[in-house]
Structure 1
Amino acid sequence: MSSPRAIIQILITGTRILGKAFFEAGRQAAKNARAPTPGSLGNDVAGVGHASSSSITDQLTRQHRMTLDEAHLILNVKRGEEMENVLKHYEHLFKANSPPQPPANTDTPKTARSPGQFYSHYLQSKVFRARERIEAESNIVVEGEAEATQKAGQKAESSSSHPPPPPPTGSS
């Protein structure tokens, strides 16, 4: 076999291999574009995309763009904890991430925040949204309990106002 012939065969074989690889990559890209995998949505918050039912909790998750578990993690509180404790954690985290207050006396020069003290508008907004999400869930629970007691009261009232029907008699 001559040298130029061998070089041409190597180039043809390499071109075939690269062609097949590009063809398969294109097919795979087209397949991926047609059917995106769940959770690959770029604008999705963890758990929000899976909140597809029409339950109140899922509606709140979509509305606040945050799951209840995520809100509890952000505020470092447990499920079912008193609202006072949730608000206490909220106040602490909100103040810790707020910008420094300007000095009350305008005669003194403004001093910069001491090193190591930072604030974050992003974290502050996450803390605020977490509090909103927990409050919304607790309001739904309170409203549900109020409706249940109201229905129970109406049921007891309706059953006591009407006497039970008389038992059927044996003569027809």
Structure 2
Amino acid sequence: MAHRILAQVIVTGAQVFGRAFFQAYKQAAATSATQTANAAREGGLSVEEACRILHVEPQNLQQVEVAKRFEHLFNVNSKEKGGSFYIQSKVYRAKERLDNELAKNSPPPPPGEAGASPTPS
């Protein structure tokens, strides 16, 4: 009789822990998928990593400096000059990430300025 109760306790405990483990796994998988999607959307680089690749300071990030460093590093690493396509693609992704960051942090142009789309009447 005691072995029967012990077996039921073990089976019930295994079921409880199994369900808890499965729920935790589902939650971790969902979180991981979200983080992967966010990283892919932003080029897979952090702002700090992109700044290190392009050799610019993250504190005083300017579009002109980013473009200048990108041009230099992209041209130096071209296949025609014996450079690395991998490094060239890293430079491109870094510029893309910093461009996104600058666009996100820059205020929208005031209405009526050059480049602003006219409002329909």
Amino acid aligned to 2:97:
R
Alpha-carbon distance in 2 for matches of 1:131, 1:94: 10
Which residue does 2:63 correspond to in 1? 83
Question: Which secondary structure state, in structure 2, belongs to the residue aligned with residue 146 of structure 1?
Answer: coil
Amino acid aligned to 2:48:
D
Q: Which has the larger radius of gyration?
A: 1
Following TM superposition, by how much is the alpha carbon of 1:62 offset from its aligned partner in structure 2, in angstroms? 3.9
Extract unaligned runs of 5+ from structure 2. Answer: 1-20, 22-31, 112-121
Corresponding residue pairs, total: 77
Amino acid aligned to 2:73:
L
Following TM superposition, by how much is the alpha carbon of 1:120 offset from its aligned partner in structure 2, in angstroms? 0.4
Alpha-carbon distance in 2 for matches of 1:91, 1:128: 9
Question: Which secondary structure state, in structure 1, belongs to the residue aligned with residue 68 of structure 2?
Answer: helix
Instruction: Give the helix-richer structure, 1 or 2.
Output: 2
Q: Percent identity?
A: 31
Which runs of 4 or more aligned residues in structure 1 lie more than 4 Å from their structure 2 counterparts after TM superposition?
none
Q: 1:141 aligns with which of 74, 97, 105?
A: 105
Q: What TM-score comes out, normalization by structure 2 length? A: 0.54
Alpha-carbon distance in 1 for matches of 2:86, 2:96: 15
Amino acid aligned to 2:94:
A
Following TM superposition, by how much is the alpha carbon of 1:82 offset from its aligned partner in structure 2, in angstroms? 1.7
Structure with greater contact order relative to length (CA < 8 Å, sep ≥ 6): 2
